A and B are shown apart, each in its own frame.
Chain A
Amino acid sequence: MKDFIQQLKKTAHLARLNLTEEEVEIYSKQLEDILNYFQKLQELDTSNVEPMAHVLPLNNIWREDEIKESMDQELILMNAPEVENNCFKVPKIVKED
């Protein structure tokens, strides 16, 4: 269980999700149950089966190299939480040591 909590924290970091201590406790139990249930899949022999990544047997879906007008800068930035000089603004990327 403790081991799984470590896993959970590591995974939450990969997904850039903050979890409160309470959430960690609740989710770890729930997720462990779910994952145990998923073990069921190991019952099936899939050694000769191809994984299904796409539903329809489509191939080579592409378009001609033509330019279409881009969207107005105003609309692109319209929903942005913080904008400066018509760019999206983000805080310090590298943390203070």
Chain B
Amino acid sequence: MYIPVIGLEVHAQLLTKSKMFCSCSTDHENAPPNTLVCPVCMGMPGVLPVVNKKAVELVIRTALALNCEISGFSKFDRKNYFYPDLPKGYQISQYDLPLAKGGYVEFEVDGEIKRVRLKRIHLEEDTGKLLHMGEGDRLAEAEYSLVDLNRCGIPLMELVTEPDIRSAKEARLFLQELRTILRYLEVSSGDMEKGSLRCDANISIMTEDGVFGTRTEIKNVNSFYSLEKALEYEIERQINLLKEGKEVIQETRHWDEKKQITVTLRGKEEAEDYRYFPEPDIPPLIIPKELLEEIKKTIPPLPLQRKLYLQKNYSLTSKEAEIITSEKELCDFFDKCLELYKNVKNLSNWITVELMSYLNDQKLNFKDLKIEPKDFVRIIEMVDKNEITRPVGKEILRKYLDTNESPEKIVEREGLKTVSDLEFLKDVVKKVIDGNEKAVSDYMKGKKNVINFLVGQVMKETKGRASLDLVKSLLEEELDKMK
């Protein structure tokens, strides 16, 4: 019996406007290199750091939401090492007195609720970015590198878990849940592709006598699925070593996305000695109770909580509830719609099918949309009342989301009301029958399915605005008459 024992170290960039220790903007995604830099974040001689209060508050908000204990006395420390993306030659971080300790994250694994405990949460500053130039674009092959300090000094929150995770899948689910939580709290955008959420893993294999094995650290995982793959690979690698009676070496390994394997980091001999000591330029933090109380009030219910509530109170399926709670704004939107419209299942359906397909097609997040509950509900009601057909409803939704014009106006302007004028429809039906001799004769011969083709033709003629059922029955009526 081999049991994987996994702990994660997660770094999340905080949603502050300015950097951790200076007032440069954090909006570095599209900025030309070294344009969001000042003497402080580039470590010029003589500069001094000044703490960003919001960054501290965001960490406290996270810690309170995750049931951590906020330290009565916290301080910053210097982590000393040399690397080109670290201009001061040290990173201001927290070592022995972090802002928060303990706490936990709960998430669902195969329908069961799993709890992973946290060791600590602390605050530090991000480093700059290195662009490797030359043969390949990877570090090992680069002839030289270029340093961009725009990212240097952005506030980072580091969360370290206890080694409570027991499978690669659990690790992914944990990280995904954490991401959603951080987004609910508006603490981080949690985007792994863009680097605002990063994760390193520590993994060892425990044998059934309960003895923890030797740990390896896995770095360079850039997506949720890479995390899972990397851990799966590493679990297998370590188990194989143990089965062969070999030793697992304590080391740091890199996930190679292309080859889908972990490799030893070349040239890394002994562990770095960071020579931590208290940061003399920053006085300690003693968080006042009033501030804690104030922040506590801003914490919304967490995603898992809301998901279970939806399932319990509205009998939504787990899948539906998961989709609706995937973004806080979407969940809030759902609640607001419910105030205006009582058919929960139908509402859920419209959201999880129609709205989500729009978001997926447009590659947007819900919070990027301009959408009003009253308008969304109006569309659904129009379909319920047969004022428009469902396909038309879907179309109107898209037009509304694209242009933000009111649904009623769209319907009117484009004349999309369901055609229920019987006389008009009968004419169209007759026209279609007249124009499709072969299909009609096939139908007469017994090929009943051909009616769908004819229905389609009528729908085409009416630009989808006719009620499907009505069209079908009118066609059948007419065709019967012809027998």
Contact = CB atoms under 8 A, between A and B. Distances in A.
Question: Do A and B interact directly, with beta carbons closer than 8 Å?
Answer: yes
Nearest to A59: B286
Contacts, number: 121
B348 interface: no
Contact of B283 (A54, A73, A84): A54
B96 to A, nearest CB: 12
A53 interface: yes
Given A65-B53, A67-B17, A87-B147, A93 B34 contact: no
B18 A66 contact: yes
A86 interface: yes
A87 to B, nearest CB: 4
- State the majority secondary structure of interface residues on B: loop
A37 B278 CA distance: 25
A93 B138 CA distance: 11
A94 B32 contact: no
Given A86-B33, A87-B147, A67 B267 contact: no
B428 interface: no
B37 A54 contact: no
B42 interface: yes
Interface in A53-81: 53-54, 56, 58-68, 70-71, 73, 76-77
Given A70-B35, A87-B34, A94-B139, A65 B42 contact: no
B152 to A, nearest CB: 11
A92 B399 CA distance: 54
B146 interface: yes
A58 B282 CA distance: 9
A44 interface: no
B84 A88 contact: yes
Contact of A71 (B38, B52, B142): B38
A88 B267 CA distance: 24
A60 B282 CA distance: 9
Interface of A: 14, 16, 53-54, 56, 58-68, 70-71, 73, 76-77, 84-95, 97
Given A53-B75, A63-B23, 11 more contacts: A59-B286, A65-B53, A67-B18, A67-B25, A70-B35, A71-B38, A87-B34, A88-B34, A90-B144, A93-B142, A94-B139
Interface of B: 16-18, 23-25, 32-39, 42, 50-56, 75, 82, 84, 130-132, 139-140, 142-149, 266-267, 273, 275, 278, 280, 282-288
